[in-house]
Amino acid sequence: MRYLPGRPFPAYAFLPGRDPHPTRDPEGHSYSTEPEEPAGYFVPEDWSENEDYLYGIDLYNHGYLWEAHEAWEGLWHQAKHDALQAEMLQGLIQCAAAALKIPMEQPRGLERLAEDGTARLERVAKEGSPEYMGLDVVRFVAAFRAFAASVPTSADERPPIELEPDPSQEA
């Protein structure tokens, strides 16, 4: 499933140490392309309208973990004045980075980033709402913690990010 099906994926999912760096290497999938300007700050309730957020989820769900991190990082910078939203985005960034540590054969990185990312998301569920920006945060945190604790051998085993239907979009 795609949340933003009209936006194409990069030519490959970047893995540090294996692939050409997407923007710095002339062989990279995004070399010499104009970087997209991240959307300005958006209120959490408008999550279903934010293409960068949705594209980051598509990237994560389809194995473009480094690219998902990059998509969300621009949003995170825009949201720094909104502590809860910044915490949510940073938690997602850290979970994507944790899963990326599996093919990099860095189990301590997986463990540390999974703990940091899920702790951030857990704070969002407690201080904000168990469902935040379309995500059942509590369910995702439980699934991601179980994934990280299972000593996974493939990032493909990571739990997907499944967004709830936006109630404002329902007829």
Query: So what's the pLDDT on residue 25?
Result: 64
pLDDT at 171 (0 to 100): 42
Please determine, for residue 167, whether its predicted confidence score (pLDDT) is greater than 70.
no
**Residue 139 CA neighbour count, 13 Å, CB half:** 11
In the numeric block, the tokens 């168990």 are attached to: 130
**Rounded CA separation 161/144 (Å):** 10
Mean of pLDDT over the chain:
90
Q: How confident is the model at residue 148 (pLDDT cuts 50, 70, 90)?
A: very high
pLDDT for residue 168 is more than 60: no
Residue 131 has pLDDT above 50, yes or no: yes
19-28, 34-43, 131-140: which has the minimum mean pLDDT? 19-28
Which residue shows structure tokens 């493939």? 154
* Structural contact between residues 159 and 143, judged by C-beta atoms closer than 8 angstroms: yes
Kindly report which listed range (5-19, 29-43, 97-111, 129-143) carries the lowest average pLDDT score.
29-43
Query: What pLDDT score does 68 carry?
Result: 96
* Between 19 and 3, the higher pLDDT residue: 3
Query: What's residue 15's pLDDT?
Result: 85
Helix, strand, coil shares, percent, the chain, to 5: 50, 5, 45
Q: Read off the pLDDT of each residue in 21-33 and give the average, rounded to a whole number.
A: 68
Amino acid identity for residue 67 in this structure = E
pLDDT (0 to 100) of residue 27: 67
Rounded Cα–Cα distance for residues 30 and 50 (Å): 22
Place of tokens 């998509």: 71
Look at domain 44-164 and name its CATH class.
mainly alpha
